[in-house]
């Protein structure tokens, strides 16, 4: 159909991201649309949503349309020695949405690095997260936190009940200092703990500004180790000229069932929710009886549809040609315009409803 878009933003982004990951030595991972339901039933605490779409297979097995890719990758991973498994994927997942009734098909592109993780491997994943966002928009922000600092603070209070712990993490995610103080008071926790958590919840900004303030909170060995790791990762990003758009934020450390180390979220202008999420999740490997560590992230390509809805144009240039024009010359002109960073649609007639920034007539050699 003439009025269909040349390529949707999520399709363009998926191709660029896969090329980026392939250049860094990550191997493509493919999986079926469904897995045995038991895989997800045993690991519901690691899922974004516990609602899973199921069906009975012809052999009587209960199957599920996959709500998550990482679980499948970890299930099939075989980490050994000092070697790392590095994979990327481009897959649909099926989840319920808080904003809409029913299930949604969500396209994700992401990567996982599994095995004997070190600072260099984690830095590579963080750098790829930043570079992924840069491919989508030059105005991105990458928020970075560390579960170790938060868990170290909570460990200062012996016998902390799980309900109180979950409540404090939820309020930390909301940056709600009054609620944190109230919960601590109700649970009879030390005033010093409440103040440290409140202070941590309000910290946000460039690493150079926030890291010195974290040093005052990192009193125990676990907290100091987490801070050192965070500082090391920031040094890697700085060497790669990727630190400018990084912000330290501990409100994103609000679920410690899944993540156990560095955690990060990526944001683009014009989108209220994050377009990228990731972190270190060794707990999942241990739960599946496997050694080593794991870190990865996913880019939620469905979010880009909302970004595109705010655009006034489907394509930058509409290039009109006639049957009398040399087809090879038309192709050459199309590539030349694309080399200028423009999206180009070449047609003999203007498609109905197509929105374009600029109309170029090939026979005239310039803009109409």
pLDDT tens, position by position, for the chain (368 residues)?
334 444 567 788 889 999 999 999 999 998 888 888 888 888 877 777 667 888 898 888 998 888 889 988 998 888 777 889 999 999 988 877 555 566 778 889 999 999 999 999 999 999 999 999 999 988 999 999 999 999 999 988 878 898 999 899 999 999 999 999 999 999 999 899 999 999 999 999 999 999 999 998 998 999 999 999 999 999 999 999 999 999 999 999 877 777 899 999 999 988 878 899 999 999 888 888 888 999 999 999 988 876 655 456 788 899 999 999 999 999 999 999 999 888 899 999 989 888 888 999 988 655 54
> What is the pLDDT, as a whole number, of residue 7?
55
Locus of tokens 């996913």:
298
DSSP 8-state code for residue 90: E
Domain ranges of the chain: 9-140+268-309, 316-367
* C-alpha to C-alpha distance for 158 and 155, rounded to whole angstroms: 6
> What is the pLDDT, as a whole number, of residue 8?
66
Q: In CATH terms, is domain 9-140+268-309 a member of 3.30.930.10?
A: yes
* C-alpha to C-alpha distance for 105 and 307, rounded to whole angstroms: 18
Containing H/E element for 56?
A: strand 54-56
Q: CB under 8 Å to 218, separation ≥6 — which residues?
A: 149, 152, 224, 226, 227
Asked whether the beta carbons of 36 and 64 are under 8 A apart, the reply is: yes
Tokens of 142: 């990458």
> What is the pLDDT, as a whole number, of residue 100?
54
> What is the pLDDT, as a whole number, of residue 311?
56
Torsions phi, psi for 366 (to 5 deg) = -165, -175
* C-alpha to C-alpha distance for 132 and 141, rounded to whole angstroms: 11
* C-alpha to C-alpha distance for 61 and 63, rounded to whole angstroms: 6
CA-based torsion, 326, 330, 333, 335: positive or negative: negative
pTM > 0.95: no
CA-based torsion, 36, 41, 46, 49: positive or negative: positive
């Amino acid at each position: 159909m003439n009025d269909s878009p040349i390529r949707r933003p999520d399709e363009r982004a998926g191709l660029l991201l896969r090329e980026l990951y392939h250049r860094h030595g990550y191997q493509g991972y493919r999986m079926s649309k469904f897995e045995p339901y038991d895989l997800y039933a045993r690991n519901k605490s690691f899922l974004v949503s516990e609602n899973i779409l199921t069906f009975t297979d012809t052999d009587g097995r209960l199957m599920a349309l996959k709500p998550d890719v990482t679980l499948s990758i970890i299930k099939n991973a075989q980490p050994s020695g000092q070697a790392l498994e590095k994979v990327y994927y481009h897959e649909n997942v099926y989840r319920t949405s808080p904003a809409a009734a029913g299930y949604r098909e969500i396209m994700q592109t992401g990567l996982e690095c599994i095995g004997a993780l070190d600072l260099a491997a984690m830095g590579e994943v963080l750098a790829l997260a930043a570079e992924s966002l840069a491919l989508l928009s030059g105005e991105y922000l990458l928020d970075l936190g560390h579960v170790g600092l938060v868990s170290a603070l909570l460990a200062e209070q012996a016998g902390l009940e799980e309900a109180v712990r979950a409540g404090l993490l939820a309020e930390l995610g909301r940056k709600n200092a009054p609620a944190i103080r109230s919960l601590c008071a109700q649970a009879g926790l030390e005033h010093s703990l409440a103040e440290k958590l409140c202070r941590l919840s309000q910290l946000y900004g460039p690493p150079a500004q926030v890291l010195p303030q974290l040093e005052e909170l990192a009193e125990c060995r676990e907290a100091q180790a987490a801070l050192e790791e965070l500082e090391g990762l920031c040094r890697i990003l700085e060497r790669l000229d990727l630190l400018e758009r990084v912000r330290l934020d501990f409100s994103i450390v609000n679920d410690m069932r899944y993540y156990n180390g560095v955690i990060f979220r990526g944001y683009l202008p014009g989108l209220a929710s994050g377009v990228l999420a990731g972190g270190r999740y060794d707990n999942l490997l241990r739960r599946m009886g496997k050694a080593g560590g794991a870190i990865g992230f996913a880019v939620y390509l469905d979010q880009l549809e909302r970004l595109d809805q705010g655009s006034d144009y489907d394509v930058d240039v509409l290039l009109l040609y006639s049957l009398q024009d040399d087809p090879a010359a038309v192709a050459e002109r199309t590539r030349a315009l694309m080399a200028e960073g423009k999206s180009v649609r070449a047609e003999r007639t203007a498609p109905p409803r197509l929105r374009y920034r600029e109309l170029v007539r090939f026979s005239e050699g310039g803009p109409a």
